[in-house]
Amino acid sequence: MDGRTNLVGRNSVEITELIAPHVDRDFRGRQVAQWIVDRNASSFGVMTNLPLALRRDLDTHFSLEEPEVLQVVESSDGSCKYLLGFSDGVGIESVSMREGAKATFCLSSQAGCAVGCTFCVTGAVGAGRNLRPEEIVGQYRVMLRRLDTEVERVNIVFMGMGEPLLNTGNLGPALTVLSERVSLKRITVSTAGVLPGVRWLAGLEKRPKLAVSLNAPDQERRTKIMPIARRYPLVDLMKALREFPLERGRRITFEYVLIDGFNDAEKDARLTARLIRGIPAKVNVIPLNEDREHFPDLRRPAAAVVDRFAAGLRDAGLTVTVRWSKGEDVAAACGQLRQRQPIR
């Protein structure tokens, strides 16, 4: 931060307005916004269709500040885990995954998480500050630039560090910027069930997709692993989800972290299916990523148990995907990379 106004995290209209006093012609605003938003430019110097004097003037008043890439760890499955640092010394993680011409970016919304789910490394680390729009959009920009070959399509999921719906003040503007490049159909916000946030999302004129971390089929067990369930009980959450406005063809994604002996019984699959019956839904079953240091007693179920659970959901008519965490060989799952690194 050097007194210049950072244009990363601003949408095209804002960019145009901000630079208006500096430009000679009206169309410059659109040009600059195109460079920043559409072409992901990282400096004014590359904006070769602008007069040199204007580029210099812009550089005096504005910056295109992005998070610093502190470390990139590539996993054997092709996913890349980024350790990113901000100017105040705060560090976060973002993940880029590749499947052919499709890339998925997993973004963080906070530098930690106050929700404190017992199976989550980010939760174990505790609260961290909210990320600002430019810090959210910056993650996307940095990872996009590093993709080696062309991708046809980028998906964005807010499944990194933090609870996005506890940071709606920054998430909203960030979504506006991101949606200029990536259709909201391909942006998913994942929540532990923060009801005011779900209502905020429901009230947006245009909204991203919603994913809800269910993780247990009943209030009692959910509260055990997700303290936030006490504040926002499952019945209220399910009611809000039944009322959630869904665009044609859209479904709500339910995430379900499978923990050995806790929520992985066949019966739990049936209970889960019953709970979400009537909601256009798909379920992501995520076998627990173990962490001996933070939750040594929680284990990932055997593969056969995972299969049985998924089959139980499918038998009940649900669409199910089993998500074996990517990047495990580099400790690159959910909040784990930052754990191994001394952050400034």
Active-site residues: which are they? Answer: 93, 334
For residue 324, what is the DSSP state?
Answer: P
Q: Tell the smallest beta-carbon distance from residue 280 to ligand SAH (Å).
A: 19
**HSE-up (13 A, CA, CB side) for residue 38:** 8
Please identify, using beta-carbon distances, which residue of 11 and 96 lies nearer to ligand SAH. 96
120, 234, 276, 330: which one binds ligand SAH (CB under 6 A): 120
Q: Which does 289 bind (CB under 5 to 8 A by kind): ligand SAH, ligand SF4, none?
A: ligand SAH
Phi, psi for 47 (deg, rounded to 5): -80, 75
Strands 281-287 and 252-258: parallel
Phi, psi for 317 (deg, rounded to 5): 95, 10
DSSP string, 77-144: TS-EEEEEE-TTS-EEEEEEEEETTEEEEE--SBSS-SS--TT-HHHHH---PBPPHHHHHHHHHHHH
44, 82, 86, 119: which one binds ligand SAH (CB under 6 A): 119
Token code pair at residue 273: 């299916």
Instruction: Check binding of 264 to ligand SAH (CB under 6 A).
Output: no
Please identify, using beta-carbon distances, which residue of 160 and 312 lies nearer to ligand SF4. 160
Q: Tell the smallest beta-carbon distance from residue 271 to ligand SAH (Å).
A: 18
Q: Which does 167 bind (CB under 5 to 8 A by kind): ligand SF4, ligand SAH, none?
A: none
Q: Tell the smallest beta-carbon distance from residue 78 to ligand SAH (Å).
A: 19
| Residue numbers 22-81 binding ligand SAH by CB under 6 A | none
Q: Contact at 8 Å (CB) between 289 and 112?
A: no
Instruction: Check binding of 190 to ligand SAH (CB under 6 A).
Output: yes
Q: Tell the smallest beta-carbon distance from residue 314 to ligand SAH (Å).
A: 20
Instruction: Check binding of 92 to ligand SAH (CB under 6 A).
Output: no
Please identify, using beta-carbon distances, which residue of 95 and 192 lies nearer to ligand SF4. 192
Show Cβ contacts of residue 66 under 8 Å, excluding neighbours closer than 6 positions: 8, 42, 138, 141, 142
Q: Tell the smallest beta-carbon distance from residue 316 to ligand SF4 (Å).
A: 25
Instruction: Check binding of 213 to ligand SAH (CB under 6 A).
Output: yes
Segment interacting with ligand SAH, rule: CB under 6 A, options 3-11, 124-132, 185-193, 216-224: 185-193
Q: Which does 286 bind (CB under 5 to 8 A by kind): ligand SAH, ligand SF4, none?
A: ligand SAH
Alpha helices in 204-256 (DSSP H): 219-225, 228-231, 234-242
Q: Tell the smallest beta-carbon distance from residue 286 to ligand SF4 (Å).
A: 10
CB atoms within 10 A of CB 169: 11
Residues near ligand SF4 (CB under 6 A) are 113, 115-117, 120, 122-123, 162-163, 192, 213
Q: Contact at 8 Å (CB) between 285 and 256?
A: yes
The vertex-304 CA angle with 303 and 309, nearest 5°, equals 100
Q: Which residues bind ligand SAH (CB under 6 A)?
A: 119-120, 159, 163, 190-192, 213, 215, 255, 257, 286, 288-289, 325, 334
